[in-house]
Amino acid sequence: MTTRSPPSIRNAIHEVLSSMRFAISLLVVLAIASIIGTVLKQNEPYPNYLFEFGTYWFGVFRLLGLFDVYHSIWFLVILLFLVLSTSLCIVRHSPSMLREMHSFRERTTLSSLRQFRFRREYVTVLEPVQVSSLLCLTLADFGYKCRTQSRKSGQFVAAKRGSLNRLGYIFTHMAIIIICLGGLIDGNIPLKLQQFFGIKHIETRNMPESQVPEASRLGPNNLSFRGDVSIPEGSSADVVFLNVGKGYLVQDLPFVVSVKKFIIKYYSTGQPRLFASDLVVRDKQTGKSKAVRLEVNHPLDMDGVDIYQSSFGDGGSHLHFQVWPLSGTSVQPAALKGIVKQHDPIVIRGHPYTVEFDNFRSFNVEDLSQGVKPPSGGFMQDMRQALSLTGANNKDLKNVGPSVEFKLRDAQGQAHEYLNYMLPIKLGGHLYLLSGMRTNPGAGYQYIRFPLDDEGSIKAFMLLRAHLDDPSAALHIGLQFAKKSLAGTSEQQAMVPKLAQISASVLALFRQGGYDALAGFISKDVPKNEQVNAAKTYLKVLQGTALEALDESLPAGVTIKDKMAFVEDSLNAMNDRFLYGPPVYLQLDNYRLVMATGLQMTRAPGKFFVYFGSLCLVLGIFAMFYIRERRVFIYAGSDGKVLFSMSATRQTFDAQSEFENLAAKLGDVLIEKGR
């Protein structure tokens, strides 16, 4: 179809750009480029990449724009080439396509008809004119349009159907261009340019929105944008934040969004069923406001800006804690108030700390399907183990109540991170308060379990702990324990002081370093072959002593059903505190929930192009594959010979059978009418 003009560089370039090979290469290159962006996580904070790839590769990847492939210059260039190639292709082919669409190819000669693969000859007694009009009628039945021509020695019929097939090509390729254009409009090229010329400046500092300088703000008339904002219940916002590179820009909105309430509803099985926000949106210009409920999958269109329910989080819930000391003889909890996302100073045993309230969840769904096994060993447990949270399926989800995540940071900046549950959790028939701790943000939490009395209070444990931690009480408890254990013969009674002594020193060891201290003592001071027995004995003594201490410390009216288990759990918890960080337990005892809703707002005028282009694309592809162009030529000679030939753009199986079908039908018609 192409005519070769004298070679020149321009022609050569044009030739390459509009060539099929180039188009296919582009498609493949685009595919590969796209893969990169899915393999490498995009738009993460830079430190993450630095950590993952090291300085060298980080530098290389950043230079190549691999952290934001789809907005990099080279990706854009590929897309531009795609548009260019497709446009050239359209320009080149459309005229001839349109011509072809209308043409019946009436100039086709008899001799070329004889070359067709699909052809058949008939003999008839009918006149050529009769033949042509008869067959045209039949062809019309099959959807053909006919042109008849008188030639020297007979009648010539040219017919065709499915010409729209050619439009398919134009539609498809136009669609690609239109879609890419739409994408470009909604893309970030204008922003890139403004950044390039220094008109806009990306803000990287963490500061209140009102203080962000003008150079990092975009006016409400900005053509297209996509940003997020998180608004606590009871507050409002008139901006969104656009994530750009390693910083952000502030986009001013033409309206103010106030959040009345964020709503989550759950299925009976525990999975979330509904996320919604009750909003009031006030137009700044007209001052008119309207109240709406925004749900996932049901965005709100406000002056061409679409508002979406995109996330939710804590908007600064008020928390109330009892701060229990985990060492020393005091049992008095101190009250502590906090607000999520805020930091407060706190003094623990004379040292200054900061407590950072990171996250609060009023509803925790955990899978308890496998039944709850008591954690083995008694040492800190991973949550999964502690609650036997196995598998993702077969769920038996339970709400285990509110939880709070916070950090205790010391003066040197070292932090312990905690996850505390507010409600008691039943494990192996006993109630506990769970508190998870970790020092490495990437690691899983290790759990400490505080046993509770029959009323579900932690007080009994705290009293017991304080009693055991009181060195001045140790001898007394030891003596009581020894007396009770050796209440029998006088011989036994003679041993009492010795046992009391042992009990007190075991307790002292345990107080200083938990089970490890005991084990250390045994491995140092007890002969090898007696160590196992000694360990058992010491543990028994420890437990017995603690049981005694429990009896002494338990206030009147407080009951514990299984005291032995309680004592074991208490000792475990006391042991675990050595790994737990600063010696306090922050028991969450009350809260007032304040949610924040995460809204995404976009203005994307390009979408109309994209949708229109998509429609063209579907129509075009349909036309190209499923409207098949067929041309039929018939020559009815005055000698009674009729030549029928057919051509198809794609000589598939269907063309063959269609030809057979049509040829038979035409033959029938000729025979029937010629009788």
Partner 1 sequence: MELVQNLKTSSLKKLHLGDWGYAFAWLAACFFVLERFGSGMNGFSKGILLFATIGFIGLGWFWKPFRLMVVITAGLSLFAIHEYHGQIASADQVFWLKYFLGSQTAIMWMSFLFVLATCIYWVALLGRSEFSGKLASTLTWCAVVMGLVGMATRWYVSYLLGPNIGHIPLSNLYEVFILFSFMTALFYLYYEDRYLSYEMGAFVLLVISAAIGFLLWYTFDRHANGIEPLVPALQSYWMKIHVPANFVGYGSFSLSAMVGVAYLLKSKGILSDRLPDLALMEDVMYKSIAIGFLFFTIATILGALWAAQAWGGYWSWDPKETWALIVWLNYAAWLHMRLIKGVRGPVLAWWSIGGLMVTTFAFLGVNMFLSGLHSYGKL
Residues of the shown chain interacting with ligand HEM in the complex, contacts defined by CB under 6 A: 18-20, 23, 26-27, 82, 85-86, 89, 92-93, 169, 172-173, 176, 621, 624
Supply the DSSP symbol for 298.
B
Q: What angle do CA 522, 525, 529 make, to 5 degrees?
A: 70
268: partner contacted, choices partner 1, ligand HEM, none (Cβ within 5-8 A by kind) = partner 1
Name the residue nearer to partner 1 (CB basis): 179 or 408: 179
For 588-599, b where at least 16 C-beta lie within 10 A, e where not — what string? beebebbbbbbb
372: partner contacted, choices partner 1, ligand HEM, none (Cβ within 5-8 A by kind) = none
Rg of the chain, C-alpha, whole Å: 42
Q: Does 24 bind partner 1 (CB under 8 A)?
A: yes
Cβ proximity of 493 and 484 under 8 Å: no
Identify the three-state secondary structure at position 442. coil
Residues 43-82 binding partner 1 (CB under 8 A) are 69-70
Q: Does 650 bind partner 1 (CB under 8 A)?
A: yes
657 phi and psi angles, rounded to 5 deg: -70, -35
* Candidates 129-137, 515-523, 589-597, 602-610; binding stretch for partner 1 (CB under 8 A): 602-610
109 phi and psi angles, rounded to 5 deg: -95, 160
Name the residue nearer to ligand HEM (CB basis): 11 or 109: 11
Q: Does 628 bind partner 1 (CB under 8 A)?
A: yes
Q: Does 411 bind partner 1 (CB under 8 A)?
A: no
Query: How far is residue 260's CA from residue 254's CA, in Å, rounded to a whole number?
Result: 20
Q: Does 238 bind partner 1 (CB under 8 A)?
A: no
Cβ proximity of 405 and 355 under 8 Å: no
One of 49, 118, 122, 275 touching partner 1 (CB under 8 A): 275
164: partner contacted, choices ligand HEM, partner 1, none (Cβ within 5-8 A by kind) = none
86: partner contacted, choices partner 1, ligand HEM, none (Cβ within 5-8 A by kind) = ligand HEM
Quote the least distance from Cβ 83 to ligand HEM, whole Å: 8
Query: How far is residue 369's CA from residue 277's CA, in Å, rounded to a whole number?
Result: 32
One-character DSSP codes across 31-98 = HHHHHHHHHSPPS--HHHHHHHHHHHHHHHHHHTTGGGGGGSHHHHHHHHHHHHHHHHHHHHHHHHHH
41: partner contacted, choices partner 1, ligand HEM, none (Cβ within 5-8 A by kind) = partner 1
Quote the least distance from Cβ 19 to ligand HEM, whole Å: 6
Query: How far is residue 16's CA from residue 271's CA, in Å, rounded to a whole number?
Result: 56
Among 619, 65, 104, 581, smallest CA distance to 346 is for 581
34: partner contacted, choices ligand HEM, partner 1, none (Cβ within 5-8 A by kind) = partner 1
One of 625, 638, 660, 664 touching partner 1 (CB under 8 A): 625
Quote the least distance from Cβ 653 to ligand HEM, whole Å: 19
Name the residue nearer to partner 1 (CB basis): 45 or 272: 272
Query: How far is residue 395's CA from residue 412's CA, in Å, rounded to a whole number?
Result: 43
Q: Does 34 bind partner 1 (CB under 8 A)?
A: yes
Cβ proximity of 570 and 465 under 8 Å: yes
Supply the DSSP symbol for 216.
G
187 phi and psi angles, rounded to 5 deg: -75, -170
Residues 122-141 binding partner 1 (CB under 8 A) are 141
Q: Does 308 bind partner 1 (CB under 8 A)?
A: yes
Name the residue nearer to partner 1 (CB basis): 31 or 73: 31
Quote the least distance from Cβ 648 to ligand HEM, whole Å: 14
Q: What is the dihedral of CA 554, 558, 562, 565, to 10 degrees?
A: -50
Residues that bind partner 1 (CB under 8 A): 20, 23-24, 27-28, 30-31, 34-35, 37-39, 41-42, 69-70, 141-143, 183, 186, 226, 267-269, 271-275, 295-299, 306, 308, 310, 391-395, 600-602, 604, 607, 610-611, 614, 617-618, 621-622, 625-628, 650, 652-654
